[in-house]
A = this chain, B = another copy of it.
Amino acid sequence: MSKVTFSVSGKNESPAKFVAKARNFKIVIDEPLNLGGTDEGPNPVEYLLASYAGCLNVLGHIVAKEQGIDLLSLEIELEGDLDPDKIFGKPTDARPGYQEIRLKLKPECTASEEALDQWVKEVESRCPVNDNLLNSTPISVRVEKNIGISSN
């Protein structure tokens, strides 16, 4: 298959609230009150974990089918730790992003531990979000000043 391009765009509704559109879907991102938001949606780093969970679920099912594992359901728990000092401009050596992400996959199935070990290795190696978290991703940025409707 050739490359596929995904796109998302949106606009802020307050300093912390951003409404993104992906195809016909609306995604509301905000921060809790104690992080300066209006708490109308999950925050960016919670969406990052959710994105990862959704991706592991898709791959979990594709790989289970290939490996003959009858996956009745899949629960996933994720946790990540970060130090917000850099976000708020305080002097720190800590990176701003997650310093570690911990995953727990709970497949409902009768497969052996060995089979599940093979399964999870294959799931991780083929999961796009796992790849983008584990390995560096090139990012290109453009800034284009928006002169606003009032200037037209």
A75: chain B residues at CB < 8 Å are 9-12, 146
Q: Looking across the interface, which residue of chain B has its beta carbon closest to that of A77?
A: B9
Contact count band on A: 35 or more
Q: Beyond A47-B27, A50-B47, A53-B8, is A139–B144 a contact (Cβ under 8 Å)?
A: no
CA distance A60 to B1 in the complex (A): 36
Check B77 against A7 for contact (C-beta < 8 Å).
Answer: yes
Q: Is A9 within 8 A of B78, CB to CB?
A: yes
Provide the bound-state CA to CA distance between A37 and B25, in Å: 15
- Chain A 117-148 interface 0/1 with B at a Cβ cutoff of 8 Å (1 = within): 10110001111111111111111111111111
Are the CB atoms of A108 and B147 closer together than 8 Å?
Answer: yes
* A134 lies within 8 A of B135 (CB): no
